[in-house]
A and B are shown apart, each in its own frame.
Chain A
Amino acid sequence: MPQSGQPNLIAMSGFILFIALSLVITWFAARRTRSTRDFYAAGGSVTALQNGLALAGDYMSAASFLGIAGLVALSGFDGLIYSIGFLVGWPVVVCLIAEPLRNLGRFTFSDAVAFRLRQAPVRVASAAGSLAVIAFYLIAQMVGAGNLIRLLFGLDYEIAVAIVGAVMLAYVLFGGMIATTWVQIVKAVLLLSGAFMLAMMVLARFSFNPLALFSSAAAQYGPAVLAPGRLVSDPVDAISLGLALMFGTAGLPHILMRFYTVPDGRTARVSVAYATAIIGAFYLLTFILGFGAMVLVGQDAIRGVDAGGNMAAPLLAEVVGGQAFLGFIAAVAFATILAVVAGLTLAGAAALSHDIYVNVFRHGHATEKEQLLVARYATIVLALVSIGLGIVFKGQNVAYMVGLAFAIAASANFPALILSMFWKPFTTRGAQASILFGTAATLLLIYLSPTIQVDLLKHASAYFPYRNPGLFTIPLSFIIGIIVSLAAPEPAATAGFAKLEQQIHFGAPDDDAA
């Protein structure tokens, strides 16, 4: 039985090493962050491989590492629905989103949505959608971090969450996108090598045959662990979750923002290919980690430490590699969380400052200095909010929470982005209606679902029977956007479509110089 709640010296040094390293990166980056373009988009000078690693770093959050390993360990095959669902969104991103987005905007995906529409109303709506996604995503990361620190240092959950908030604040505040990108790259390499080492140490006990591992899981917990059915028992829920995961990726503000850090559309496209290769390899490893934890740690021991199963991977590390390896894996997991939180916070700050303050309150006229100042204030506000939310949502599985963030992204951001870039008759009101409906309906259905009504509020039943609303909210957001646009055409928006098409292919006229 692995011990928990004991301060672990090696783990602590691992943490401190990573944090020190990333603060050094931040310090170097801070000296290079002079303009808003540096702060939000790393000056647009990131290469394809760098951006691929950074995309993977942004994407492989606590949900991927801690959450999925825990779900697979506790429910077998059904946890893999998340692994697979998190990957299948990427072909959609590369085919429909990456290049047009890069060529149409500067800092946030709202730039592309608002391209030919009226700026202020669209930006307010899409900033609201982004912030809702970011809030749910942040909750998941904070819950993961809190549990991890409690497992290792025996610190209080609340203090752990506050520490994560403070460190992440430092990265974003001073280093902006340059620091965040490098922190993501370091973290992606660490996470991939850590997961690979862990998987190899597990497989070493099964003569390097994954099938022997799966057999032994089936022998210990029954053949049902290799078949679907334990976690997603309702067919509608399974489809709904699947759709949210697939189309959510293409609506995540912190992922979309990465496409502005590269010089052109081609680099954006190639960077997705790198990212998908890395992320896919990582998700294949989660198969091994999850079943490895099920067999070697045991389901009861995992549940004993955290009801959500989030500590399966660190506990597995302790079983196969002892305290030292636990320290390493915990440091990797912590790095993962910090980096994702930094990326999310930066995207949130961009939505608040670039979309709302500069383009709505100042009608696009604000000095660079003023914009950076507002972005930094926005960062502080977001850090405080995320610390608060992390404390409220203690005890949820982090992969599941991220699934909800994906549902909001797929319903609020994805339909408006697609319609604006590819459907000529789309209007400002259509975009507003689609984004606001998608955000509000998804949040409402989550509130009415068993997660809040039964798990959190302890009611006997829920008003809405499904745990993930994607199946209903994604098509409805498209339909509402289309109906509202057709009901009241907007000639200026339709006329702007030709320029939009031109720019999707050639990029902005001043892009060559930049």
Chain B
Amino acid sequence: MTRMNDSASRLVTLSAARWRLSIIITAAMTLIYVGFILLVAFNKELLGTLLVPGLSLGILLGVLVIVAAWALIMVYVRWTNANYDVAVAEIHRAHKEGR
């Protein structure tokens, strides 16, 4: 019985941690992208600034937004593969044995 409660409370902690990471990553992506779009909408001159001939700030930031999306997904997938999956499998096993 204690084992059941233990695994139930671990699940709550674990799902809270994953939920937090999901929210942080979603928020980070939204901020980065909406920030980019706000610059597109309100500061066209700034984005048109040429850093070197042929490369405007807008194009550079656009590439960086794509790179940021890659990086955020990598962070999430690595964390969940390494922590979440292992813990869920353990709880699952404990749950079955406890029955």
Q: Which residues of A contact B (CB under 8 A)?
A: 77, 80-81, 83-85, 87-88, 90-92, 94-96, 210-216, 218, 223-224, 226-229, 232, 234-236, 238-239, 242-243, 246, 266, 269-270, 272-273, 276-277, 280, 283-284, 287, 422, 501, 504-506
Contact = CB atoms under 8 A, between A and B. Distances in A.
B15 A227 contact: no
Contact of A276 (B25, B32, B63, B70): B70
Contacts of B33: 84-85, 88, 242, 246
Contacts of B69: 87-88, 90-91, 276, 280
A96 B22 contact: yes
B54 A214 contact: yes
Contact of A242 (B37, B48, B66, B81): B37
Contacts of B62: 77, 80, 83-84, 287
24 contacts: A84-B36, A84-B66, A85-B33, A91-B76, A92-B29, A95-B26, A96-B22, A211-B54, A211-B55, A215-B53, A226-B50, A226-B56, A227-B56, A228-B47, A229-B48, A239-B38, A239-B41, A266-B85, A269-B80, A276-B69, A277-B70, A280-B69, A422-B19, A505-B15
Interface residues of B, number: 48
Nearest to A241: B37
Contact of B92 (A85, A92, A506): A506
Contacts of A211: 52-55
A91 B48 contact: no
B48 A224 contact: yes
A223 to B, nearest CB: 7
Interface of B: 11, 14-15, 19, 21-23, 25-26, 29-30, 32-34, 36-38, 40-42, 44-45, 47-48, 50, 52-56, 58-59, 62-63, 65-66, 69-70, 72-74, 76-77, 80-81, 85, 88, 92
A422 B20 CA distance: 13
Contacts of B72: 91
A280 B29 CA distance: 15
B15 A228 contact: no
A506 B74 CA distance: 23
A259 to B, nearest CB: 14
Contact of A214 (B48, B55, B73, B92): B55
